[in-house]
Amino acid sequence: MLDKKYNALEKESKWLNYWNENKIYEFKKDDRKVFSIDTPPPTVNGKIHIGHIFSYSQTEMIARYKRLRGYNIFYPFGFDDNGLPSERLVEKEQGKKAHEIGREAFSKLCYQTTDKYEEEFQTLFSKLGVSTDWNIHYRTVSPSTIKISQTSFLDLINKGHCYHKESPALWCNECLTSIAQAELETKTIKTTFNYINFKTVETNEEFTIATTRPELLPAIVCVFVNPNDEVHNHLIGMNAHIPVINVDVPIMADENVAIDKGTGVVMCCTFGDQTDIFWWKKYNLPLKYIFTNDGKIINDVPNYGGMKIKDARKKIIEDLQAEGYVVKIEELEHEVQTHERCGKEVEYSVMKQWFIDIMNHKQDFIKIGNEIKWYPKHMHTRYDEWVNNVAWDWCISRQRYFGVPFPVWYCKDCGEPIFAKEEDLPVNPLVDKPNIDECPKCHGKEFIPETDVMDTWATSSVTPLINMRYKEKDNYEDILKPMSIRTNASEIIRTWDFYTIVKSFYHFGQKPWDNVMISGFVMADKGEKISKSKGNSKFEPIDLIEQYSADVIRYWAGSGRLGTDIVFSEETLLRGRKLINKIWNVSKFIEMHLQDYEDKEFNDYEYIDKWILQTFQEMEKGFINYLEEFEVGLALNTLEKFFWNFCDNYIEIVKHRLYRPIEFGEIPRYSGQKTVYTILYKLLQDFSIFFPFITEEIYQELYHQEKSIHLTNIKTLTFDFNKELKNGNDIIDIIKEARGEKSNKNVSLKTPIKNLDLHLNKDLKEGIELSIKDFKATLFIENLNIKDIKEGYSIDNIELDLESID
RNA sequence: AGAAGAUUAGCUUAAUUGGUAGAGCGUUUGUUUUACACACAAAAGGUUAUAGGUUCAAGUCCUAUAUUUUCUACCA
């Protein structure tokens, strides 16, 4: 028998153990169709917040739904533990920079730290009821992952999509590494717009340039003016004298100069921003790079060499002011590109870096995007927009320690890159030696290892390859090409989704998945997205699970429309708690009345039973339609609505028949038993997608045909009662109205109705006559008079037996 | 500055694609009815952000505007 009260904490840990011991979620190849899920490996940088709970739960519900629909579920969980995020976590915890700790010791600390957090993560996700098979989980630092990343790299090298080149790259002088465009985050900062006077060398004519970055004055290589700018175009062809720096540079024409921006005259440096780089390439301008990689002015620059960028900015403004070159200084708020991992403004640097070709295949990436179904649809637009806007090839090398090493050495003599052989992977060039005796180009015999590591996205973009154990023995390439679905939040469409598509296109020439499902964000109280870096989440997932239970947290996570941001609210949790409590209580009620029940063929259903069976059947159709579109929230909503109708209306009617077989007859009672037995079973199945714990507890107590409710199959009902049931809902409405009458008179709902006069149309009259016993019992009617009416119904007279109250 | 989404009761939201705007919380009132007071029944609360338009019919489609979120661009 079910307990009087449901103890969620105790039951949830009981079923967790049971599922583990009985390998309920184990993946094994068999003859069923596979539904495979490429779920994001969370970055191991500290904390899981409720935003994660939200989006991972929605994915998890899809897994459960598909499992109940007979699919063999391939649902591995991963952890993204390599790369910069982990390094920053360790640096933060140690209070020291990586280079201060040293490469080897630092990597060791990274492993220790990520191990610790991954255990916490795994516990948390398990407690949430995530139905993953932990035996197929992966880590992005594991040797097998490193091997696949390196294999992927070599494959791209062989196919000519990856190259090593000295080229300007985005540089973070906080993290001391190059980064990719996708890792940029725009931030608004306050700065000053400085109007500085220049003079032409030829005519000594003054003109003004406005800049936010006067420290770049020593890096100016030329000045640009728009040829259509009538105020300034006469300067073209002359030379400009840079104040304070005392260097002359040419004044050139380019139509990219916006006449109305600043003063309409632009100084061009290598490298101040992307336009500068564009001009540098277009006009083959000289390279004048004045920053060191750790954010200082190089020593060669007179007066400012060795200063930090921001100090140099101050100093140079002071010097300009002292000599009277500053016309005015305006306060300015503008958007700058920062590195998303540390929030510091990015610079540009020129070093040899590894790049993956993006720019030559944009159209292919758009095409693949079109072949994938995006849920919700408008997320496809975001993808397209990103691909169309990408301006750089993907720089995948990072001047860091804790990542996948490049399987590359360089010939000491000629610099030729030597690649590892595929069969030797994984390799660490710092430890391993290349598998050749001499450089094929110059016959040099000494090799220098590549010290850079790969961008973390270079690894996470191969999660489909990791999942399919690309090129390994016993791999899953046959069933996972493509995978069924990728799920993630919208912020990583430009990174994870995009890069995965890039890699899948280069490796296989095809889409990595059939579907992409994008969840919304969880917002903190008003309007602000919850994020790890902002630390604006008040609630700890683990506390919430302990306080409310995993099922209740999942109720919250499963509400809301796909792709739509939601605000975290404890009210929703309370609503979920009530729903779960109700499921428990109605199950207890049904269990009570099924003590003598035996399931057998039966067709002689009572009218009201037919009504609820038919209503359920139609609800479930809509429910399934929503889930096929991955709209878990709308599906849950549909189900919940039916469920309350079932409890408050149907159960209230049928309970009289269940309690009093002598009065109502054994067959009508059996009809009720069979109905509640059938519907509760199906309700439990449908609810198990959202509430895996409580539904398992009830299922095991009442049904237990299979090892677990999560191994059953949803079979839709195929009743056809619609012809007989013309007015089922109207009968409910009449009951509600009559109850309302009692409520308005402030009497108990059990108060007998002495006389009830009803006007009913033909169909409704037929319906009530077919359910006359149920109808009268539900409302405690003593005398019922039915009169005909053409359309609809009306309650003409309701006479309560008020004396019987006391 | 561009793109996409959102705006429905005090709060959180639904409306299966153009057909009577429904819930929950909160408020108020009543009922302790053999599953459940974490319940049941009921009441109040809406010009669906604003202004136009299309249509027999608009929360839903179109055009503006406002507010808001996300993404992208803008560093001269």
pLDDT single digits (tens) A371-412: 999 998 889 999 999 999 888 899 999 998 899 999 999 999
- The spacing between the Cα labelled CA in A570 and the C1' in B25, in angstroms, equals 10
Would you say A225 and A233 are in contact if contact means Cβ atoms under 8 Å apart? yes
**pLDDT at position A425:** 92
Q: What is the mean pLDDT of residues A89-95?
A: 91
**pLDDT at position A804:** 59
Closest-lying nucleotide for A211 based on CA to C1': B76
Would you say A199 and A206 are in contact if contact means Cβ atoms under 8 Å apart? yes
Residue among A716, A707, A651 at smallest CA distance from A681: A716
Q: How far is CA A317 from the centre of its chain?
A: 46
Q: Is pLDDT of A664 > 80?
A: yes
**pLDDT at position A24:** 96
Closest-lying nucleotide for A741 based on CA to C1': B42
Closest-lying nucleotide for A739 based on CA to C1': B41
DSSP A497: I
- The spacing between the Cα labelled CA in A628 and the C1' in B18, in angstroms, equals 25
Closest-lying nucleotide for A257 based on CA to C1': B76
Tell me the per-residue pLDDT of A451-488, one tens digit each, with 9 for 90 and over. Answer: 999 998 999 999 999 999 999 888 999 999 999 999 99
Which residue is closest, via its CA, to the C1' of B14? A637
Would you say A339 and A175 are in contact if contact means Cβ atoms under 8 Å apart? yes
For the four alpha carbons of A773, A779, A781 and A786, in that order, the dihedral sign comes to negative
- The spacing between the Cα labelled CA in A398 and the C1' in B50, in angstroms, equals 52
Which residue is closest, via its CA, to the C1' of B35? A589
Q: Is pLDDT of A806 > 70?
A: no
Closest-lying nucleotide for A637 based on CA to C1': B14
Highest mean pLDDT among A602-606, A744-748, A802-806: A602-606
**pLDDT at position A497:** 96
Q: Is pLDDT of A523 > 80?
A: no
- The spacing between the Cα labelled CA in A614 and the C1' in B60, in angstroms, equals 29
Which residue is closest, via its CA, to the C1' of B38? A578
- The spacing between the Cα labelled CA in A12 and the C1' in B36, in angstroms, equals 21
Would you say A687 and A677 are in contact if contact means Cβ atoms under 8 Å apart? no
Closest-lying nucleotide for A268 based on CA to C1': B76
Which residue is closest, via its CA, to the C1' of B22? A641
- The spacing between the Cα labelled CA in A752 and the C1' in B29, in angstroms, equals 21
Q: What are phi and psi of A355, to 5 degrees?
A: -125, 145
Closest-lying nucleotide for A560 based on CA to C1': B13
CA A778 – CA A318 distance, rounded (Å): 89
Residue among A619, A615, A657, A610 at smallest CA distance from A638: A619
Tell me the per-residue pLDDT of A152-203, one tens digit each, with 9 for 90 and over. Answer: 999 999 999 999 998 888 899 888 888 888 888 888 778 888 999 999 999 9
- The spacing between the Cα labelled CA in A676 and the C1' in B73, in angstroms, equals 60
Does the bond joining A302 to the residue before it have cis omega, within 30 degrees of 0? no
Q: For A219-260, where are the E strands, in sequence order?
A: 220-225, 239-242, 247-253
Tell me the per-residue pLDDT of A582-599, one tens digit each, with 9 for 90 and over. Answer: 999 999 999 999 999 999
Residue among A775, A733, A780, A736 at smallest CA distance from A754: A780
Q: Which nucleotides of B are covered by protein (CB under 7 A)?
A: 2-6, 11-16, 23-25, 29-36, 38-43, 68-76
Higher pLDDT pick, A189 / A266: A266
DSSP A298: -
**Given strand A394-395, what is the order of strands in its sheet?**
A177-179, A162-172, A347-356, A394-395
Would you say A614 and A719 are in contact if contact means Cβ atoms under 8 Å apart? yes
Q: What is the mean pLDDT of residues A764-776?
A: 90
Residues in chain A: 806
**pLDDT at position A17:** 97
**Which residues make Cβ contacts (< 8 Å) with residue A639, sequence separation at least 6?**
A619, A623, A683, A686, A687
Would you say A701 and A2 are in contact if contact means Cβ atoms under 8 Å apart? yes
Tell me the per-residue pLDDT of A55-78, one tens digit each, with 9 for 90 and over. Answer: 899 999 999 999 999 999 999 999
- The spacing between the Cα labelled CA in A440 and the C1' in B63, in angstroms, equals 68
Q: Is pLDDT of A38 > 80?
A: yes
Which residue is closest, via its CA, to the C1' of B71? A382
Let me know if A47 is exposed, middle or buried by CB neighbors in 10 A (0-12, 13-18, 19+).
Answer: middle
Closest-lying nucleotide for A780 based on CA to C1': B33
CA A399 – CA A354 distance, rounded (Å): 11
**pLDDT at position A526:** 52
**pLDDT at position A577:** 92
* % of chain A residues with pLDDT over 90: 64
Closest-lying nucleotide for A261 based on CA to C1': B76
- The spacing between the Cα labelled CA in A9 and the C1' in B73, in angstroms, equals 50
**pLDDT at position A221:** 93
CA A151 – CA A131 distance, rounded (Å): 30
Q: Tokens 């006009």 correspond to what residue?
A: A283
Structure tokens at A339: 């590195």
Average pLDDT, chain A: 90
Q: Is pLDDT of A532 > 60?
A: no
Q: Is pLDDT of A431 > 90?
A: yes
- The spacing between the Cα labelled CA in A209 and the C1' in B5, in angstroms, equals 40
Q: What is the pTM of this model?
A: 0.91
Q: What is the mean pLDDT of residues A267-279?
A: 83
**pLDDT at position A529:** 65
- The spacing between the Cα labelled CA in A580 and the C1' in B60, in angstroms, equals 33
Closest-lying nucleotide for A641 based on CA to C1': B23
**pLDDT at position A276:** 86
CA A305 – CA A297 distance, rounded (Å): 5
Which residue is closest, via its CA, to the C1' of B39? A582
Which residue is closest, via its CA, to the C1' of B69? A527
Q: Tokens 């993956």 correspond to what residue?
A: A356
Q: What ipTM did this prediction achieve? A: 0.93
Q: What's the alpha-carbon Rg for chain A, to the nearest Å?
A: 35
Closest-lying nucleotide for A618 based on CA to C1': B16
Structure tokens at A54: 């939200």
Question: How many beta carbons lie within 10 A of that of residue A123, not counting itself?
Answer: 11
Q: What is the mean pLDDT of residues A226-254?
A: 92
Which residue is closest, via its CA, to the C1' of B41? A743
- The spacing between the Cα labelled CA in A642 and the C1' in B11, in angstroms, equals 24
Strand partners, A267: A223
- The spacing between the Cα labelled CA in A792 and the C1' in B47, in angstroms, equals 30
Residue among A597, A684, A611, A606 at smallest CA distance from A650: A611
A732 falls in which pLDDT band (50, 70, 90)?
A: confident
Tell me the per-residue pLDDT of A284-339, one tens digit each, with 9 for 90 and over. Answer: 888 888 888 888 999 989 899 899 988 999 999 999 999 999 998 888 878 788 88
**Which residues make Cβ contacts (< 8 Å) with residue A130, sequence separation at least 6?**
A56, A60, A77
A525 falls in which pLDDT band (50, 70, 90)?
A: low
Q: For A597-695, where are the E strands, in sequence order?
A: none
- The spacing between the Cα labelled CA in A768 and the C1' in B22, in angstroms, equals 26
